[in-house]
Structure 1
């Protein structure tokens, strides 16, 4: 049975090769949060927004196949309850719902050389992780493993018990849906090569791309070489060949090796306690760039130096927000969520500025950070407004990246992965993200190009429209009709309405009044879907009639639902953040609106892991006298779904989106609508929150949120003051927020 020893920082710090202060925010991060319950995060080592991550890989090759990636849908290289370790994967995704990347598997072993991962895998214990560091103890081999990372490179330190010892680099396995690799020897301690990646969500496009690498060891091996799995034979030959379909080890062949299932090994004769360090540099441009990345980011082998630097980078990021009060668990939940928000998007360019262009074989160069892994359908709602507030320089580079993608490819992306559009999920989220950023005051990007890109996706006919394939119906009818039973038509249209609203606000600010009116009108087309009989949105047919038979409950637990994507009518009915007052009128006024919204929570119709309804608990604030319901629901949902445990995220973290919901909610404000630069206020978790603002963009150095809390169960807002002035409702503009030196909440019990 697998043994766990999940060690909190005050114990872990004593084991790590770094010295930190107990009060550092990084000491509150628990990288194991979200590593089960389909959170799909991992505890691997990574730097903030770095593209190198080093992650324990335990979803492949268990003897009974319980945890094998080919036996079930694993979209993560690591799951907390799994037990069969087959190496450290390099460059991984965090919090996503589809498998990809998670390759270049590095594994230490002892004894006779074995290269079949089913046989060399090991159970492990003494697992420990903190930002920039991960380590465990391999029970089969009595080996201690440790890994850390820079932005583009990794370092591993393996402590051996003595005797025959090996380091394996498996290029045939991983999470990626593609196969094929090449490797060649440079010298006794260095090899170079590439591995093919791609096929995210098994989407049938040409979305493949190579990862180039250089691997080095700090000690010369007694022997090194390749392995390759033999192609199974059939017929008479297979009957007498005992090695048919097995792995073949190449100990003398030193030229390059290629294939679908190949690997590299280094063999040593170690003394008890001897350590061997391994570095890997990667690039998505070339082997030469991978080597340059390695040489620039690591001079020599110094595990402790790399680990300390990674930890300090994380501490600098997390220190942007200081919290006081609350429990240690609450601080851990908060800072871990903040940590998760800075894993993606991650940089793509090499140290020389080169990167692979969007949907192209071209290699271009950039003067700013070029980002990748844009899960925009998720992150445009809260991650990017958070970046706009707290790290405007990073947010601007992300916007510039999206505009550069448009210039390179002709379209803004929806869900981009290493220069490829995956077309995962729906809508036109880049329009909403860019417009919202500009409207919140960050404008140092090519506004004209951004606007042209938005107009292209909004107005191009469906047959030629890469993002809005059903644009003909949408523009002609005002809605997307149900043409096939499970075509997600309502979900598509709702995303377009939000994008068009944000575009209308952007157009108006730029002085394009006619465009603004047109897109604002289009954004109200959701009313076509409102059905008074059910009191929910309901799919419509091309002839204008409602789809029947209709069950608004159909679609629970991700079951297919006509017109809706990953949810049902209840998950989407209030998903019109730009016109809640209009929806309220359709429902019969404030009382009917509140009653129906409360029903969502009373009957467990709210899905905390589904983006379209995550703003629902904040919507009570549109009726001022009912705002207490927001305070109650936020407090309840945080306590129920977020915890200092491996299952402490309610579902896929979606590259930080669920974590961003928790961070905003614990701070007491939330961005409720893309294109409206404002926030809804609720009772904060902590007694004092200090947000350090970037003076290049904001005049105040800090925003301080103070909470007067007479008792622990005082969760309801009694009054809110901004710089001593009483606030009459729960809304505050972005401008007022960043210019407020102090926001003070006074809470009450009932």
Structure 2
């Protein structure tokens, strides 16, 4: 990177360093490694990786690796598929050949789907798809990845009290929201592989989040076993990692906009674009956004789904970078979660972010540097920002490959094929 302040460069390269610590090599120099969930020794012709903190890293770390270090990402995908072959399930939060079952969801699906759709394909996608179908269809009593899948399939949601074996207690809404995202990614992969009926089935499943939306509070709300909403209910309960029924490490507001695969559909539920934007802005204005945890990490980029509101993304991203990413001892917002918070900073400082795991798209924002150069698998990618500097946090105009660019969300292919993404920045949103 070129330009920016010395502190911004230090923040950027520190974040990049943090993002590359994990996953880390598990295999020895001769290719041997401990088999997943047993005491045997395996041997691989490729690098075998470990420490797959996937609930965290499926959101941005693997997208960064796919963009900048594709050969390492391919070996990480091969490692995940190898784990499935060795113990029958994809990793959720793997640590040195053992599954910790930390957090929730089915996060290997969006990681591998994203990798495949972006054109990195030197791995056994058929074996991966087999694994995904297993976790997405096996009844809960025999499902290591989705133990509460039965009501999810039958009703489209998970009620309170059905499964509460996590250390955090009953986090049914958080579980279901993760499954919706995984099933959306699975629908994209199924479509890519020509499995049209599977694609339709999993896309329909991914829209079950609508069950949780409560018009009274304008937020997601846990559902009782009888189908009624939890009462009493406080959408702010759960702030600062305190316990709240239905939600893991957060409040209802940390999760209510956590539907990256159907932002427009969620806006319709809320009463339209204007109401959606007002409520999302309220989350930032009233301190309900948590910069130190994953569920709402993409919130700043959701404004850009609506024409004329993109400036809000640019403002909030700049403010968050300035406030929470510094060179001080507390210069990252809380636990870095194996590089996830740092990857957020790396992408945001470059001017784009993968806001929906599994979808090969980036939402654009104002870069902090004059120039960024990335060596990609398809040649050099250059990002230029005319006028970058203190106070210039808004986009006046953009070009991609020398042609005017008027949309704020572009595909991976468009970005890599453009060669140069150029911004002209300004100091005010007007």
TM-score under structure 2 length normalisation:
0.97
The answer to whether 1:617 aligns with 2:295 is no
The Cα shift of 1:710 comes to 6.9
Q: Distance in 2 between matches of 1:638 and 1:710?
A: 15
Partner in structure 1 of residue 158 of structure 2 = 480
Alignment correspondent of 2:108 = 430
What's 1:653 paired with?
336
Q: Note the C-alpha offset of 1:692.
A: 1.2
4+ aligned runs moved over 6 Å, structure 1: none
SS in 2 for 1:324: coil
Shift of 1:675: 1.9
- Does the Cα contact within 8 Å between 1:711 and 1:749 map onto a contact in 2? no
CA distance in 1, matches of 2:268, 2:315: 25
> In structure 1, what is the equivalent of residue 69 of structure 2?
391
Would you say the 8 A contact 2:368–2:389 is kept in 1? no
Match of 1:349 in 2: 27
User: Equivalent of 2:416, from 703, 718, 738?
Assistant: 738
Shift of 1:728: 1.6
- Whose relative contact order is higher, 1 or 2, with alpha carbons under 8 Å and at least 6 apart? 2
Tell me which residue corresponds to 2:396.
Answer: 718
Q: Indicate yes or no: 2:239 matched with 1:556.
A: yes
Note the C-alpha offset of 1:712: 2.4
Deviation sequence 1:412-437 (CA, Å, 0-9, x none): 01000000000001010011111111
Match of 1:419 among 97, 106, 110: 97
Question: Which of 186, 192, 202 is the equivalent residue of 1:503?
Answer: 186
More strand by percentage: 1
**In 2 relative to 1, CA 465–711 (structure 1 residues): closer, same or farther, beyond 3 Å?**
closer
3-state DSSP of counterpart to 1:361: coil
* Residue 466 (structure 1) aligns with: 144
Helix, strand or coil: the match of 2:262? helix
Q: CA deviation at 1:711?
A: 5.6
Pair 1:628 & 2:311 matched: yes
Gaps of 5+ in 2: none
Residue by residue, what CA displacement relative to the aligned partner does 1:363-391 show, whole Å, maximum 9, x if unpaired? 01000000000000000000001100100
1:561-640 to structure 2, matched below 5 A, reads 561-640=244-323
Rounded to whole Å, the distance in 1 between the matches of 2:201 and 2:161 is: 26
CA displacement at 1:749 relative to structure 2:
1.2
How do residues 45-124 of structure 1 correspond to structure 2 at under 5 angstroms?
none
Q: Matched residues in 2 for 1:492 and 1:612: separation?
A: 12
For each residue in 1:521-565, what CA deviation from the matched residue of structure 2 results, as whole angstroms up to 9, or x when unmatched? 000000000000000000012221111111101001111000000
What is residue 361 of structure 1 aligned with on the other side? 39
Which structure 2 residues correspond to residues 227-246 of structure 1 after superposition, within 5 A?
none
2: CA distance between counterparts of 1:613 and 1:669? 17
CA drift of 1:724 comes to: 1.5
8 Å CA contact 2:368–2:388 kept in 1: the answer is no
2:55 is aligned, of 361, 374, 377, to: 377
* Deviation, structure 1 residue 513: 0.3
User: Which residue of structure 1 lines up, in the alignment, with residue 360 of structure 2?
Assistant: 677
User: Does structure 2 retain, via aligned residues, the 8 Å contact 1:488–1:564?
Assistant: yes
The TM-score normalised by the length of structure 1 is 0.56
Report if the CA contact (8 A) 2:253-2:288 is conserved: yes
CA deviation digits over 1:218-254, x for unaligned, max 9? xxxxxxxxxxxxxxxxxxxxxxxxxxxxxxxxxxxxx
On the 8 A contact 2:235/2:251 being kept in 1, the answer is yes
Q: Distance between the aligned counterparts of 2:255 and 2:31, measured in 1?
A: 42
| 1:585 shift after superposition | 0.3
Q: How far did residue 727 of structure 1 move?
A: 1.3
Q: What SS does the corresponding residue of 1:612 show, helix, strand or coil? A: coil
SS in 2 for 1:551: coil
Aligned equivalent of 1:110:
none
**Residues 359/711 of structure 1: CA separation in 2 closer, same or farther (3 Å cut):** closer
- Please give the secondary structure, in 2, of the residue aligned with 1:720: strand
- Whether 1:406 and 2:89 are equivalent positions in the alignment is no
Cα pair 2:66 2:73 within 8 Å, conserved: yes
2-side partners of 1:711 and 1:443: how far apart?
39
Alpha-carbon distance between aligned partners in 2 of 1:487 and 1:712, rounded to the nearest angstrom: 45
User: 2:110, 2:393 → 1: CA distance?
Assistant: 33
Aligned CA-pair RMSD: 0.9
1:150-171 C-alpha deviation (Å, 9 max, x unpaired): xxxxxxxxxxxxxxxxxxxxxx
1:526 maps to 209
| Counterpart selection for 2:350 from 667, 680, 696 | 667
Kindly provide the CA deviation profile for residues 705-736 of structure 1, in whole angstroms up to 9, marking residues without a partner as x: 00011762121011111011111220110001
How many residues are matched?
A: 423
The whole-number CA distance in structure 2 between the counterparts of 1:592 and 1:727 is 27
Q: Distance in 2 between matches of 1:431 and 1:692?
A: 27
Contact 2:55 2:107 in 1 (8 A): yes
Give the match for residue 689 of structure 1.
372
CA offsets 1:565-618 (integer angstroms, 9 cap, x no match): 000100000000000000000011110000000000000000001101010001
- The answer as to 2:223 corresponding to 1:545 is no
- Would you say the 8 A contact 1:680–1:730 is kept in 2? yes
Report deviation, 1:446: 0.3
Q: CA deviation at 1:645?
A: 1.2
Q: SS where residue 611 of structure 1 aligns?
A: coil
Q: Which residue of 2 aligns with 1:329?
A: 7
Whole-angstrom CA distance in 2 between matches of 1:440 and 1:494: 24
Paired residues of 2:4 and 2:388 also in contact (CA < 8 A)? no
Q: Which whole-Å CA distance do the structure 2 matches of 1:532 and 1:605 have between them?
A: 19
Instruction: Provide the C-alpha distance between the structure 2 equivalents of 1:535 and 1:726, rounded to a whole number of angstroms.
Output: 38
Distance 2:384 2:109 in 1: 35
- Summarize the Cα distance change of 1:711–1:408 in structure 2 as closer, same or farther, 3 Å threshold: closer
